[in-house]
Amino acid sequence: MICLDSSILIEYFRKSQKENSTWYKLSSKHQSFAVSIITAFEVLGGATAAQKSFWDPIFQTLTILPFDMHANEKAIQIYQRLKSTGNLIDLPDLFIAATAIAHELPLATLNTKHFERITELILVEE
């Protein structure tokens, strides 16, 4: 199982030919996918009613990972380290990374610039 960042899902939504999306390509190598509850918020929070009808069946097939105390502890550690080096990233990205780490899952993202700052996070290559 791998964890998907919001960028992977949004790219999938935007591509008219889904087979050209990163998620489609990843699905040939991986059997199951998860998202952080933060990713679900980012995607569904910005969706129109019509877009929600696209997303609802997709989110039913994904494992939704909670942002629990274990993920919170990881987020605090990452935040303090990134802050001390002046390399902070957006909080939603930090929470998504911490959730993946807490659940011992690699993360697929199109936003490697931010996520590669988190040394304990394993990023998935297409």
Instruction: With beta carbons less than 8 A apart as the criterion, state whether 37 and 99 touch.
Output: yes
Q: What is the mean pLDDT of residues 1-28?
A: 96
Instruction: With beta carbons less than 8 A apart as the criterion, state whether 36 and 6 touch.
Output: no
Gyration radius from the chain CA atoms: 14
* pLDDT tens per residue across span 30-76: 999 999 999 999 999 999 999 999 999 999 999 999 999 999 999 99
Q: What is the mean pLDDT of residues 14-32?
A: 95
Q: What is the mean pLDDT of residues 97-104?
A: 98
Instruction: With beta carbons less than 8 A apart as the criterion, state whether 125 and 22 touch.
Output: no
Q: What is the mean pLDDT of residues 21-32?
A: 94
Q: Which CATH architecture has domain 2-115?
A: 3-Layer(aba) Sandwich (3.40)
Domain spans of the chain, in order of start: 2-115
- C-alpha span between 126 and 117 (Å, rounded): 19
Tell me, what's the pLDDT at 40? 97
Q: What is the mean pLDDT of residues 89-111?
A: 97
Q: Tell me: pLDDT of 15 over 80.
A: yes
Tell me, what's the pLDDT at 125? 80
Q: Tell me: pLDDT of 105 over 90.
A: yes
Tell me, what's the pLDDT at 89? 96
